[in-house]
Structure 1
Amino acid sequence: MSFSISRPLPLEGTPDIVLVTPDEPHEFEATRAIFRDYAASLDIDLCFQHFDEELATLPGDYAEPRGALLLALIDAEGGGAASRQVDAPKIRRAQGGMAYVAGCCALRPLDTADYPNAAEMKRLYVRPVFRGLGLGRQMAEAILDAARGAGYACVLLDTLDDMESARGLYEDLGFVEVPPYYHNPIAGAHYLKVEL
């Protein structure tokens, strides 16, 4: 499944972005790689979230129809990002050609929360070289659309104190702070929820 982007990107001349749901072995390997980059960027140990098991069993809880898993791909062969030097992993697209793996985002059911019919947004990450293109917003909006399509009543997430840009995006998308919905041993965690 591919998600089409119908909302304009914020910058003139930005590259074409395609959101895809991984379903080929090389796409799952690319997902594992960007998830590892995400974890490394946090500078915390995600073992309390069973991160290694999550990587080993992809798509796991992110599988449709109750979940969603997205990779943001940017054309690596013509114009846009390809016209400048970019140090980022690439994969072969299903329709041919190479694309940079620029970002990721995921959704999973959250049956253990005190909120009925809840899902959880996870792993929203944009590689540093691709920041400023509106990718985070595009992926978050696509994940919220997927949650609506799956019939969820709300989406929860947790984020850290130092993720100011992400928290600003979540606020723009209608998320509000809520009490913790699970135990997170990391100091400075924020718990957010949006009604769908």
Structure 2
Amino acid sequence: MATIADGKEYGLEVREVSGLDEEDLDQVKQLFLEYGHSLDIDLSFQDFEAEYKALPGKYGPPDGVLLLAKVDGQAAGCIALRRIGEGICEMKRLYVRDSFRGLKIGKILIQAILEKASELHYDVMRLDTLPTMAKAQALYHSFGFYHIEPYVFNPIEGAVFMEVKLNEDDRKADQ
């Protein structure tokens, strides 16, 4: 797949990562660490360190997915989903390295994870995000996500909780 920015074409590849491909898994682990450091908050309430060490862990088959985006062979971003209930999954760890921002990788990763969630027969995808991430929230809204009440513990004041229905008919019924 190619993406174009600033008049230049980039080779973009999004692929599913399993525990079998050590190189991809190591790159995702590095992206997870960068993600954690970029937030300037303590993620211990999510047991982030154990999650990182166990990758792919809860983001692995059969109920989870871990995606890696590469641009011209370089790790550029990641996204994951995990099962949190019957028919319900959660989007986690959307992150794009600064040097790759502006190439619409976040949008491409969200589209890819929504497709994977549908393939796994989830009905709803949820997420939580920081109140300071206005651009991310706008991107989520563009995919049909809407605000909901908290569904999981998050001690960050003003944390934002969102969901989207994955079935096209359900989305139309809500509009």
User: Secondary structure at the residue paired with 1:194?
Assistant: strand
| Corresponding position of 1:19 | 14
Please tell me whether residue 46 in structure 1 is matched to residue 20 in structure 2: no
| Corresponding position of 2:67 | 70
User: For this pair of structures, how many residues does the alignment match?
Assistant: 163
Unaligned runs of 5+ in 2: 167-175
CA deviation string 1:154-185 (max 9, x = no partner): 00000111111110100000000000001100
Following TM superposition, by how much is the alpha carbon of 1:64 offset from its aligned partner in structure 2, in angstroms? 2.0
Question: What does residue range 83-102 of structure 1 map to in structure 2 within 5 Å?
Answer: 99-102=73-76
User: Secondary structure at the residue paired with 2:127?
Assistant: strand
Of 158, 167, 171, 1:188 maps to: 158
Please tell me whether residue 104 in structure 1 is matched to residue 99 in structure 2: no
Q: 1:43/1:131 Cα in 2 relative to 1: closer, same or farther (>3 Å)?
A: same
Following TM superposition, by how much is the alpha carbon of 1:27 offset from its aligned partner in structure 2, in angstroms? 1.7
Of 118, 141, 151, 1:171 maps to: 141
Q: Find the aligned partners of 1:62 and 1:30 in 2 and give their Cα distance.
A: 15
Unaligned runs of 5+ in 1: 76-98
Following TM superposition, by how much is the alpha carbon of 1:126 offset from its aligned partner in structure 2, in angstroms? 0.5
User: Given that residues 3 and 11 in structure 2 are in contact (C-alpha distance below 8 angstroms), is that contact kept between their aligned partners in structure 1?
Assistant: no
Q: TM-score, normalised by structure 1?
A: 0.79
Q: TM-score, normalised by structure 2?
A: 0.89
Report runs of 4+ in structure 1 exceeding 2 Å deviation.
8-14
Q: CA RMSD in A?
A: 1.4
| Corresponding position of 2:54 | 57
User: Given that residues 109 and 120 in structure 1 are in contact (C-alpha distance below 8 angstroms), is that contact kept between their aligned partners in structure 2?
Assistant: yes
Which amino acid letter does the alignment assign opposite residue 142 of structure 1? A
The sequence identity of aligned pairs, in percent, is: 40
